[in-house]
Structure 1
């Protein structure tokens, strides 16, 4: 590229690369100088720095984005080697015509704002082009933009601050099936269309952004109601939307409140469970008190704990009572044994006066054992269970007597 370096005349209004922005250019003649009409005067404007020609890019075959804004470029050219180009930015230049874009088959975004383009053309070859920016140019009539019908891939179109003044341009936009974003601000046509925003919203079914703000579903519904029934229908539709929105907000609030309530209840149950587990641990009762297949609530746990405590207390009382009875029985048996021993001693002393030769050996072999009234107990070696036999005996039997009967 060859940079342009010349002086600026005293009458020119220049801004180093931005001097031609928004001006009414009448003709561009020489490479270094331009004649423009400004407030009835002809001024010669030259740029102190910037490129006027695109060249020497043949070796850069892998470029995907090229920024050439704020120069003095007058023509789109010498881009044959840029087959991988995705984005081309050439805003704020001196370009008058859309041309030589055929090699850029992968181009997705083209920015030509603030140039001098009068007609949209030669873009149908760009099958992947989705964004076209042509703000601050010289486009005016329906014929100037009619070529957009042959560019179905365009979804974002900026034609703001041009000279469009024909309401029939709407038919061109209706023929663009993928148009989502449209900017027509700063054009005279907006003033010529009554209820411009409602009409464009209804007619362009896929539009999501018009001029400086989005097209919301509520806006589209109200615009369609206005088309069918006028202002009253639009008012009714708007009220219905507001009612649904309030209900949706209230439902969200109720849902949030329910979530908080469940969280609080869950926290309370957790605290009660931890408290009950602490009580079980203090009483020596295990924590595995749940009934298989059931999830017991804290109330049931408390009832079970009360039942266990009462049962254990009753068991302890029973053991204490039994222990008292055993002591009384042992005391009675001890006193009875003492009486029988005394009686036995007196009987044996009476029998000593009688001569019983055979009783002496038996008495020597036998210990001073005594058969008491009631149970006859036989001691077995290493026996865990002692069988007790109750014998009915109304008389006292002594060892000496048994020996005498045997003889």
Structure 2
């Protein structure tokens, strides 16, 4: 159905696919422009604006994108001391606006059940994400290494190529790949670090940080190094490797992780990358730039990706124009025109969730996965109240939430209510609660 591109309107997808790349581009534009062809304050203000937008749209992603950048700062600072200051300044421009948003949200975060969770909440979260987390003890767990390669051939190839960045460590991309990847891998695969990280940002969010490993940089940079080493012989090798990996690991895109990628590849990336970095430090030679920039590089990359693209396009289908859970156009129009702004509307969870997006109204309940689990919000208690209402039609329940309107999905609730209706169609009825 178009995968991520069909859901760019969602905060998480837009943040990761649009705002994160824009922020990274601005970050490296500042670091890579020592002569300041563009005034430094202009770029810094733009970095800060991008970071603020990212933190407001999806707060944890502003933290996650900083993890590989800090790793880059450390490695690049060893290789090119002159860049310690500009990288630090760019990081400051990225982190300060995000920190301001975190401080603003801190009272809410402290009140959520997933922040420093109690034992019951932790057990619930670990059960929900079973397969994605390796549990070593009640309070010790780490991300399953299979998660890193779950998206298929390109991610697995990128993991395999991470150690090759040591051969081109003079390049910024190589420092970003080695430093950034090792920073992400260390947090995700070390139980003490990952458990603490998950306590701070929730397990639901912590597992997503794996996606901020610089896969694209590792893949493109690794191909550039292999082109220098193998020359034109890399072309048939790339095509054969792409076919083999696509057949063996087409990707595990289900909500629950079933197979994922090979764990050994993730451990190779972590241990091989660390070993390569240590080897460069021990040898104490000037870091090399053993990569190549010519037409063979994009051609080899394209040949590797070709089987992935063929498989994806062969299995492409069109997303239905309207999902089964979508609101009807008539109901949306009625709620926008007949329901005063700020009124409370009571309905089932899915309908309520969509109503909140369609009109400036309050709702009594929503799917718990999309609600902060705070004492005041009580998402699970609200869900239970909705279930009781759908079974009994007890109007005392919506009145308890000060609802003035009820939207009934006829597929879920067939008993007519003794209330005046403001709108009705084959699917929905909008009642005015007296």
Scaled to the shorter chain, the TM-score interval is under 0.3
The structure whose RCO (Cα within 8 Å, separation 6+) is larger is 2
Task: Tell me the TM-score normalized by structure 2.
Answer: 0.20
Task: Tell me the TM-score normalized by structure 1.
Answer: 0.21
Higher fraction of helix: 2
